[in-house]
């Protein structure tokens, strides 16, 4: 199959909508990462997503809708707090786990009675949803286990020959996936940290929101979190955030030089050593910059270097999502080979 990359615009969105309405899959930009979308109400179309990505069938998909009516079309119960939040925020990098309606096929939710729904804050994604008139099931548009794609070329590198069309909306503004929040319990719980900060959500909902994440646990609430994720081809070493992160980065770099592993340091520019002979790649200045860049930096450097020595950030706001993705990318390599990947 030929894979076309088309600049996002009225005509290409119409073309993409036609592919989706006829049961096909299309990659499209969102504010977080690129998604691989299909008609969420058509189980055969949804199967094509799992096949193209090589995704395990027990990892459910997020359903993308354009407005609150779209949420009601897939969710049986929408708590008042969620309806209010959606009205207030509109599209945002926030995914709501709710009890599903019978309209949502089993393979979308991997047999769960809940469905994850979100309104993507990206014009092209919203236009595509409206043009199809359908809710779109869409995981990140990477091959299972690879770093999530933040540009059309990343999608192409992973999925060329497997999907007919990629809508190119340029680089993603957020760069890490949405925050997944379970609203089916007594109180909300974060299942995956992401582009929407926990602290802000707590402020909006006026309650404490626990992080309910896990790795490798059978009872894990967000099934995708048990899989190894986001891994580039080279080794990742994480350096915890401290006042002395600059020294720790240098030490880690020098250790890997000694073992001839071709290291590079990825850190905020303020921690660069001056003319010290070590190789540095900038993460930018803010946590937002870091989140926007990290998956791209994995992909751009995985063939050039043997070890990416990456600084962590304070566990706050989008920094928490950045740290989570980095730790998961690194942990894959320290443990036994995994057969199941997302």
Query: What 3-state class would DSSP assign to 331?
Result: helix
Terminal Cα distance for the chain, rounded: 23
Say if CB 321 and CB 295 are below 8 A apart: no
- Of all residues in the chain, what percent are helix, strand and coil, respectively (each to 5)? 35, 20, 45
Indicate the residue among 232 and 263 with the shorter CB distance to ligand TXA. Answer: 232
Measured in whole angstroms, the distance separating CA 167 from the mean position of its chain's CA atoms is 17
114 belongs to the binding site for Mg ion (CB under 5 A) = no
Long-range CB pairs of 247-254, under 8 A, 24+ apart, other chains included: 249/309, 249/311, 250/276, 250/278, 252/309, 253/278, 253/309, 254/278
- Smallest distance from ligand TXA to CB 251, Å: 34
- Smallest distance from Mg ion to CB 224, Å: 7
The CA distances from residue 48 to 31, 57, 147, 239, 295, in Å, are: 23, 11, 20, 39, 25
Binding mask 80-109 for ligand TXA (x = CB under 6 A): -------------x-x-x-----------x
Beta-strand ranges (E) seen in 193-296 are: 235-239, 263-267, 280-282
Q: Which of 33, 94, 181, 287 binds ligand TXA (CB under 6 A)?
A: 33
Total site size for ligand TXA, rule CB under 6 A: 30
- Smallest distance from Mg ion to CB 102, Å: 26
61 belongs to the binding site for ligand TXA (CB under 6 A) = yes
Q: Give the β-pairing of 263-267 and 280-282.
A: parallel
Binding mask 108-147 for ligand TXA (x = CB under 6 A): -x--x-xxx---x-----------------xxx-------
Q: Which of Mg ion, ligand TXA, none is residue 135 near (CB under 5 to 8 Å by kind)?
A: none
Scan for tokens 């730790």, then name that residue.
327
Q: Give the β-pairing of 263-267 and 307-311.
A: parallel
Q: Which residue's Cβ lies closest to Mg ion?
A: 140
Of 211, 191, 187, which is closest to residue 199 (Cα–Cα)?
Answer: 211
Which residues from 217-276 bind ligand TXA, rule CB under 6 A? 221-225
Which residues from 126-185 bind Mg ion, rule CB under 5 A? 140
Q: Which of ligand TXA, Mg ion, none is residue 222 near (CB under 5 to 8 Å by kind)?
A: ligand TXA
- Smallest distance from ligand TXA to CB 279, Å: 31
Residues at the interface with ligand TXA (CB under 6 A): 30, 32-33, 35, 59-62, 93, 95, 97, 109, 112, 114-116, 120, 138-140, 177-178, 180, 191-192, 221-225
């Amino acid at each position: 199959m030929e894979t076309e990359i088309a600049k996002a615009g009225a005509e290409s969105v119409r073309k993409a909508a036609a592919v989706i309405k006829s049961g096909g899959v299309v990659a499209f930009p969102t504010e977080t990462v690129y998604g691989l979308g299909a008609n969420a109400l058509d189980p055969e179309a949804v199967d094509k997503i799992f096949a193209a990505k090589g995704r395990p069938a027990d990892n459910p998909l997020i359903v993308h809708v354009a407005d609150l009516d779209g949420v009601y079309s897939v969710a049986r119960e929408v708590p008042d707090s969620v309806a209010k939040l959606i009205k207030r925020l509109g599209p945002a990098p926030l995914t709501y786990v709710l009890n599903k309606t019978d309209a949502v096929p089993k393979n979308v939710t991997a047999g769960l009675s809940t469905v994850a729904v979100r309104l993507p804050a990206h014009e092209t994604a919203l236009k595509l949803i409206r043009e199809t008139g359908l809710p779109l099931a869409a995981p990140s548009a990477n091959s299972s286990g690879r770093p999530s794609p933040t540009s059309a070329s990343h999608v192409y590198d992973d999925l060329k020959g497997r999907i007919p069309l990629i809508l190119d909306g340029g680089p993603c503004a957020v760069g890490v996936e949405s925050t997944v929040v379970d609203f089916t319990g007594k109180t909300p719980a974060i299942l995956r940290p992401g582009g929407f900060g926990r602290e802000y959500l707590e402020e909006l909902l006026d309650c404490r929101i626990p992080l309910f994440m896990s790795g490798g646990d059978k009872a894990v609430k967000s099934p995708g979190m048990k899989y190894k994720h986001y891994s580039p081809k080279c080794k990742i070493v994480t350096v915890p955030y401290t006042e002395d992160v600059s020294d720790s980065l240098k030490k880690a770099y020098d250790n890997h030089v000694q073992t001839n592993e071709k290291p590079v340091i990825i850190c905020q520019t303020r921690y660069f050593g001056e003319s010290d002979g070590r190789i540095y790649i900038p993460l930018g200045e803010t946590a937002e910059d870091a989140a926007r860049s990290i998956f791209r930096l994995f992909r751009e450097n995985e063939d050039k270097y043997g070890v990416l020595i990456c600084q962590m950030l304070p566990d706050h706001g989008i920094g928490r999502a950045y740290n989570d993705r980095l730790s998961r990318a690194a942990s894959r390599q320290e443990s036994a080979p995994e057969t199941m990947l997302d």
